[in-house]
Structure 1
Amino acid sequence: MPDHGGGPAQGRLRVVQARCPPEQHGERPLHDVEDGDGDRRSLAHRAQHVGGAAVAAAHPANVDAAGAGDPGGGGNGPQQVGQSQERHEQQRVHGRITPRFYGATRQGTRSGAGPAPGQGRESQGRVTFAGGAFTRAPGPAARVRGVSSVPPPPPSSEPARLAALTRYRVLGTPPEASFNRVTRLAAQVLGVPLAAVNLVGEDHQWTKACLGGDVTATALDGSFCVWAVRQEGAVLVVPDARQDPRFRDFPSVRSGVVVAYAGAPLVTPDGHRIGTLCVTAPEPRDFTPAEQETLELLAEMVVDELELRLRTEELTRARDHAHTLRDLAELMGEPLGPGEMARRALRLLGGAMRLDWAGLLHLSEQASEVLSDLASAPAARFGAEVRWRLLDPAGGLRATLLSWERVFLDDAAAVTERCPELLGTGLASLAWLHVQVEEEGHAPDGAYVLLLARLGEPAAWLPEERLLLEAAARSVGVALERAEHLQALERAALTDALTGLGNRRALDDALDDADARFADTGEGYVLGVVDLDGMKRVNDERGHASGDDLLREFALGLPAPGLHVYRLGGDEYALLAPVAPGEDPRERAELLRRQVQEAVARVQEQGYPADASLGVAAVPGDAGGATAALRRADACMYADKRERGTGRDTRRDESAEHPLPCEA
């Protein structure tokens, strides 16, 4: 066993800290420690009797210790080292120490362990740590100046390093056999009781695999492996942490759990050091160049496992995304409305990626609403907040969603910049895409938007996820186009092409609805049939184009609030007005008669020699339903037409008092 108590430092510093319960492992407070020779001394007492240089070595250079092996100095002689090692062996025999976690170091300066005052030993100078290495400055012996637990500062490439670590998506995952095999192999080959794979994050260290301890996490100010990650060398070696001013005051070192340490950085293919494969021993020992090379090779195996794990996940996601794309393409062929299409598309997306809330929104100047949504239970508050924000036409959310057609916000900073009003809902990542409707001649009333959210932990929208979202937006767009097309066909089927009024089919549908309302609520209606007189004369004298103009102009004079107008064909029109329960149907009949008179006046002012005949029937009162009402109104219209040549004015005055005199 090499003498690490006072002789020249062997190899480079390597640190692993194991934290154990004080009552189990004999951990003592900072002011009461045990020196390498087993004697208890307070730090103040030790500060009075140390001199020379401490044993401290750091990559790339090692520094010899002052007063090594000097029986009269502060260092341990060969006999004292042997006693210390014997005590360590007894510790391991009487009770195995199982560390909970390890890996933190402390940085600072310390004067060496020189001769005690009064012995006349010549000063060996001060050992200081700066720039990643220990150096000795000439001069008289110095006392202990204190030890710092602050780890080395991160390099300028730290954001890229953290991004490389995040890319593996391994933090917080359960133990895996492939990594456990590497730690077991490292412990067996190097002959140590503890080996672990540690990953160093932004503010904590997390253990992926551990042999001889528990898998856990610790803050970086208590992490040893952060030194191995942030140094320039290959393997960080600490032959005796008790003699290293960075690590000697850690509980695991003072309790004897961790004395020797070696850690090889995990270097990704693009050169980022994301963690370590490290081993520890409870007694001083050096790690030979061959052992360090073995540790480096095993660390490369860990990185290979991480890369294989990443590639496997990427292939699995690519396969699943391909299936989802296929399902979305098949969904486009389904005869579904926009709302149902959105629901099915969002369900497919929820199975292929993490989505806490997703919805199809319709945004317009008049009103904005959520047409369809899919939400997890924790996202109910987010959905309610979106709906509430959309109710405010002057609110910022609607304007923000309309301002950009395709947006992916990966983190809270981006969300804060674009949608600060949603931060109180736990929103972490947000995306929205406008649904494009390519229907020819389509003039959308507002915009359709797919909105998707992730709550809690931020997660970037991966390229393959963005591809799926765009495909989903296209599928919903196809459904909207189909719906627009069907609605256009329906409108065309119910619209008179010449006048733009409802046609005979539209009247039949309206009468069916009116009969249903009458049966359900007792709401009646008044039906009027109008025949435009003088049409033949206009066609003969002015041509059919003028006849068409006459039909259009007369149609423009018929509509009124609460009155529905239809063209039955040729020069015939129909008027339909609802009659509320208790309302006098004669008032609605007068409305019909007044509108016909206004339409006649309109065309006559334009020089057309035209007039009109009107027949009216009420349900109930004149008929029990639409068929009988239509027959009675038509008969009244022909009766009015026959009487037009004689007593016309008298006829209209009588109709005002008795609007429904015609016999069916």
Structure 2
Amino acid sequence: MIAAPFPQDEYARLLDLARYDVLDSAPEGSFDRITTLAAQLFNVPVALINFIDQDRQWSKSCYGVDASAAPRALSPCAWTILSDEPTVVLDAGADPRFSDNPLMNGDPRIHLYAGAPLTTPAGHRIGTLCVLDVRPREFGAQEVQALQDLAAIVQDELELRVRNAELQRQVGAQAQVVRELRRTVSHAQTLEAVATLLDTPLTAEEATRAAAGLVGQAIQADWTGLAVFEGQVVRAVTAYHRPDLNPALLARIERLEETPGGVTRHLQSVQRAYYVDDYALHPQAMPEMIQEGLMAAAWVPVGEAGSARLLLVTMRTAGSRLSGWSASDRALLETAARTMRLALTQRATGEPRSSS
């Protein structure tokens, strides 16, 4: 078995994928109807909409199978996103990329794999629509074209999903889109710098702290750092703060270990990013922090470092030019956190990091 290499645009591609906020989301009828139609149209037992994350393949819609995730190294779709053209394998057992792949050689064994890339308006291939068959068979040019057409419909649904979400969050999206596109370019550079930093011989906490600082500066946060949970004890580690941040607020943040209550203590086991655009309205908001200027906050799970669990935490205050968390802020925070989590896992197992 041969694992697919990373595409040249990997970091920008991951940011584009994060923009859709689709990973780990609930099933949706619009996508399930497409996989059902694909299975019926091509007379195959399995049809999938897959997205290629940093270290996994995650399925948004599955027809004919229950699995929703697999290691990226085993994913045939990781090969499909390397080209604009569909990938068609008529006999997986005869293809050296898949001949001993456990995903393709189970019971029953997969003979046909046909996948068409999902390509964003920015040109990044973030996933696939693919079909599988356990019977030896042909897959002709007309079928390839039909698969591409269905993949285009999937991408249209993704774009519609993003637009609907944006309309729910804010009005006047046109000016925001222009700002987001400009920031995405610098955020891709920040993400690459984060990945490079995590390869340095710093300790796990030092590396994640420095990475958090880069992210905080990129999104123009007022304070960014780590919440470090060790058993019942939680402490705040400052990675970056605006030079003119209210000293009283900074001192209160850094005394988190001594402070009962608050939002952070209730998020030790959170599995997905948690955003608060108006801190004062949160039921667990601390009055003292409201008084000292805290306006918005975000908590993003990073993972385990030894016996400690880490959250990436960032804040905006009354002195900030920005309010809340934009789509590009969320994309960078969550993609950077996944990069940190992967690096922590590889440090713990002694596995060398792959370069993209």
Tell me the residue number matched to 1:194. Answer: 46
Tell me the residue number matched to 2:282. Answer: none
State the SS of the aligned residue for 1:426.
Answer: strand
CA 1:200–1:461: 2 relative to 1, 3 Å = closer
1:286 aligns with 2:138: yes
Tell me the residue number matched to 2:91. Answer: 240
Separation in 2, partners of 1:282, 1:192: 8
Instruction: Note the 1:447-458 alignment, pairs <5 A.
Output: none
Separation in 2, partners of 1:277, 1:451: 37
CA 1:176–1:461: 2 relative to 1, 3 Å = same
Q: What CA deviation, in whole Å up to 9, does each residue of 1:408-450 have, x standing for no partner?
A: 999899xxxxxxxxxx7733131243549xxxxxxxxxxxxx9
State the SS of the aligned residue for 2:170.
Answer: helix
Tell me the residue number matched to 2:111. Answer: 259
Tell me the residue number matched to 2:240. Answer: none
8 Å Cα contact 2:88-2:115 kept in structure 1: yes
Q: What CA deviation, in whole Å up to 9, does each residue of 1:14-47 have, x standing for no partner?
A: xxxxxxxxxxxxxxxxxxxxxxxxxxxxxxxxxx
Matching residue's letter, 2:122: D
1:166 aligns with 2:18: yes
Tell me the residue number matched to 1:309. Answer: 161
Tell me the residue number matched to 2:149. Answer: 297
8 Å Cα contact 2:15-2:332 kept in structure 1: no
Matching residue's letter, 1:250: N
State the SS of the aligned residue for 1:173.
Answer: coil
Separation in 2, partners of 1:269, 1:237: 24
Tell me the residue number matched to 2:310. Answer: 426
TM-score, normalised with respect to structure 2? 0.54
Structure 1: segments with no counterpart, 5+ residues: 1-105, 108-149, 322-355, 382-404, 414-423, 437-449, 463-664
Matching residue's letter, 2:34: V
CA 1:271–1:369: 2 relative to 1, 3 Å = closer
Separation in 2, partners of 1:203, 1:181: 27
CA 1:271–1:249: 2 relative to 1, 3 Å = same
TM-score, normalised with respect to structure 1? 0.30
Separation in 1, partners of 2:316, 2:153: 41
8 Å Cα contact 1:229-1:274 kept in structure 2: yes
Matching residue's letter, 1:298: L
Tell me the residue number matched to 2:280. Answer: none
8 Å Cα contact 2:296-2:323 kept in structure 1: no
8 Å Cα contact 1:208-1:215 kept in structure 2: no
Structure label with greater radius of gyration: 1
8 Å Cα contact 1:362-1:369 kept in structure 2: no
How many residues are matched? 223
Separation in 2, partners of 1:376, 1:254: 46
Instruction: Note the 1:186-225 alignment, pairs <5 A.
Output: 186-225=38-77
Separation in 2, partners of 1:378, 1:410: 11
8 Å Cα contact 2:296-2:324 kept in structure 1: no
Separation in 1, partners of 2:301, 2:31: 33
Separation in 1, partners of 2:262, 2:105: 51
Instruction: Note the 1:427-466 alignment, pairs <5 A.
Output: 427-433=311-317, 435=319, 459=330
8 Å Cα contact 2:56-2:72 kept in structure 1: yes
Q: What CA deviation, in whole Å up to 9, does each residue of 1:257-281 have, x standing for no partner?
A: 3111100000111111001100011
Separation in 2, partners of 1:380, 1:285: 51
Q: Which residue of 126, 134, 138 maps to 1:274? A: 126
C-alpha displacement of 1:240: 1.0
Structure 2: segments with no counterpart, 5+ residues: 174-226, 228-235, 237-244, 254-258, 269-293, 303-307, 334-356
CA 1:373–1:198: 2 relative to 1, 3 Å = same
Separation in 2, partners of 1:374, 1:313: 32
State the SS of the aligned residue for 1:205.
Answer: strand
Tell me the residue number matched to 1:378. Answer: 265
Matching residue's letter, 1:242: G
Tell me the residue number matched to 2:204. Answer: none
Separation in 1, partners of 2:16, 2:324: 26
Q: What CA deviation, in whole Å up to 9, does each residue of 1:524-557 have, x standing for no partner?
A: xxxxxxxxxxxxxxxxxxxxxxxxxxxxxxxxxx
Separation in 2, partners of 1:236, 1:369: 55
8 Å Cα contact 2:118-2:128 kept in structure 1: yes
CA 1:434–1:303: 2 relative to 1, 3 Å = same
| Relative contact order, higher structure (CA 8 A, sep 6+) | 2
Instruction: Note the 1:201-600 alignment, pairs <5 A.
Output: 201-230=53-82, 232-251=83-102, 252-253=104-105, 255-318=107-170, 363=247, 375-376=262-263, 378-379=265-266, 426-433=310-317, 435=319, 459=330
Matching residue's letter, 1:235: P
Separation in 1, partners of 2:105, 2:122: 35
State the SS of the aligned residue for 2:109.
Answer: coil
CA 1:374–1:193: 2 relative to 1, 3 Å = same
Separation in 2, partners of 1:288, 1:165: 30
C-alpha displacement of 1:406: 12
